[in-house]
Structure 1
Amino acid sequence: MKEVNGVNRFRSMTPPASTATLVLPVPTAAVAHAERVPTTRRYLMCEPRHFTVEYSINPWMDPTRPVDTALAVAQWNALVATYESLGHRVERIDPVDGLPDMVFAANSGTVIGGRVLGARFRAPQRAAEADHYRRWFLDHGYRDVVMPTRVNEAEGDLTWTGEVLLAGTGFRTDPAAHAEAQEALGVPVVSLSLVDPAYYHLDVALVVLSEATRARPAHIAYYPGAFSPGTRSALRRLYPDAVLATEADAACLGLNAVSDGRNVVLAAEATHLAAELEAHGYTPHPVDISELRKSGGGPKCCTMELRG
């Protein structure tokens, strides 16, 4: 069993300044509107058996607002059923009493090519989640598991495009964690700055709709208002054909979506975004995540992708 301690591994690291000048291929109209091809995915999820809102660590959370845990479980089960109906495989990690946000599996690990970079939470209320997920990986045969030394909220702020890792910062994940991610996962990183507290994680402001292949670049959707001016400029340069979400799309966590390259699972209220996705060749699958949204979560927050 190999578990790597990030302290020694990252001691001499410097931030990957070179990633700022990375140039990706610009799609032609013909490529941009080619047929969307789904790929089978494998996900790790955690039932919200202990879900509640008993503290506030983001603008969505209000401990005085009633929470229906049974409804949250029902919505989560419907999300799992949606994935499985699309041919995807869902692995499960047991929930732990006293960790109400453990349902948001995306925040506890980033997996690319079988390599795992764990999480280090900013909020002390969630800190214990990281070790439960670390043990799950080790118990399920993963041998290259690295725990970060910097605050790193995993797929909440790290989004794989098939070519580069888009890395958010501004509210949760430490900018220095981007360098750790590059070293641990062995992929190039592009840093993106978030500026709106309502969109405190990258995965509530941006979604990869289709990953890059040899034949075509990655395709994304994002809400420009969530990002700094420089980051908006960088995103326009990197992804000129991106789907631009409206404020209403973002406000219902419509961008906290999961795509397999054709099928996009997203919040039912994001009707404008769903129509835009259809116009771009995708098939939207609306789901009700209203109860989980009380903690600032949606389909993507509940879903960690196990790649490789």
Structure 2
Amino acid sequence: MTRTARPRHYLMCRPTHFEVSYAINPWMDPSKPVDTDLAVAQWERLHALYGELGHRVDLIDPLPGLPDMVYAANGATVVDGKVLGARFRNAERAAEGPAYLDWFRDQGFTTRDPEHVNEGEGDLLLTAGHVLAGRGFRSVTAGHAEAQEFFGRPVVGLELVDPRFYHLDTALSVLDADRDEIMYYPAAFSPGSRAVLARLFPDALLVDEADAEVFGLNAVSDGLHVILPEAATGLAARLRERGFQPIGMDLSELLKGGGSVKCCTLEIRAAA
């Protein structure tokens, strides 16, 4: 299969204020030291890579007191130039939603302030036919319905059952939206959700626990290049077999907050 990279438009947030001062997922441990300078350096390499690959990257200013704002994917969901803001379950991150929505309003986007909990592209991932929507730990079913009404696209709810994979983008990644091609870790989902995924995506790449545990699924694909944590070596080999060009990145410092490549990257999808 011939793979083709398509230029993308991303929003990112420099981890100027990154730290782990609270624990709201299994990866966070405030007792472990965090090197903010190293986190910034690792993030800068990811930011530079997007430019080298021909993608456009806008930046939102990091705000003091919001150490998780670096995880831009959680800040909103953008489909056809319409922006559904995020409403966070945890009080520690609540102010991030309005901050991201203000940025999009300032840029002239059509926006919606959400009524129900959804954590942006952490739990809402776009394929050709559907919006795949995670629930179980953060986003809720009512938020899925709100997304469907706003975007006018069918939303498929998927139940997450392993707290290590608390957002959909830690357990599933869209490799090529136009071709409805995804990869996922089956054990992260309930039996019913696994059956739905198998029916919708019979040719999906199934990822094992070793690669999932190092956040290999928290990846970004432009249709050819797949940027993923460098520790996911087995997954990288399997992606090559499918004609992709995997690029490993070291975001180990940001993993201490429970995020990696995708978490740091919010895609801005313009109107068709």
Q: Would you say same fold, with TM above 0.5?
A: yes
Letter in 2 for 1:161: T
What is the CA distance between 1:162 and its match in structure 2? 2.6
* Residue aligning to 1:252: 214
Q: Percent identity?
A: 59
SS at 1:286 equivalent: strand
* Residue aligning to 1:136: 103
Q: Distance in 2 between matches of 1:218 and 1:261?
A: 11
Does the alignment pair 1:306 with 2:272?
no
**Residues 202-221 of structure 1 correspond to what in structure 2 (within 5 A)?**
202-212=168-178, 217-221=179-183
RMSD between aligned residues = 0.6
What is the CA distance between 1:163 and its match in structure 2? 2.2
Which of these residues, 2, 24, 48, is aligned with residue 57 of structure 1? 24
Structure 2 gap ranges (5+): none
Does the alignment pair 1:159 with 2:121?
no
Q: Distance in 2 between matches of 1:83 and 1:128?
A: 27
* Residue aligning to 2:254: 292
Letter in 2 for 1:304: L
Does the alignment pair 1:282 with 2:239?
no
Does the alignment pair 1:265 with 2:227?
yes
What is the CA distance between 1:254 and its match in structure 2? 0.5
* Residue aligning to 1:102: 69
Letter in 2 for 1:127: A
Q: Distance in 2 between matches of 1:274 and 1:162?
A: 24
Q: Distance in 2 between matches of 1:148 and 1:129?
A: 13
Runs of 4+ in 1 over 6 A off after TM superposition: none
Does the alignment pair 1:145 with 2:106?
no
SS at 2:199 equivalent: helix
Structure 1 gap ranges (5+): 1-33
SS at 1:136 equivalent: helix
Which of these residues, 137, 144, 148, is aligned with residue 178 of structure 1? 144
Does the alignment pair 1:228 with 2:190?
yes
* Residue aligning to 1:240: 202
Larger Rg: 1
Does the alignment pair 1:38 with 2:38?
no
SS at 2:86 equivalent: coil
Q: Distance in 2 between matches of 1:204 and 1:133?
A: 21
Letter in 1 for 2:31: T
Q: Distance in 2 between matches of 1:285 and 1:162?
A: 24
Does the alignment pair 1:115 with 2:82?
yes
Which of these residues, 17, 41, 66, is aligned with residue 33 of structure 2? 66
Q: Deviations over 1:68-104 (max 9, x none)?
A: 0000000000001111111001000000010000000
Q: Distance in 2 between matches of 1:115 and 1:72?
A: 31
Q: Distance in 2 between matches of 1:249 and 1:175?
A: 28
**Taking structure 2 as the reference length, what is the TM-score of the superposition?**
0.98
**Taking structure 1 as the reference length, what is the TM-score of the superposition?**
0.87
Q: Distance in 2 between matches of 1:122 and 1:281?
A: 38
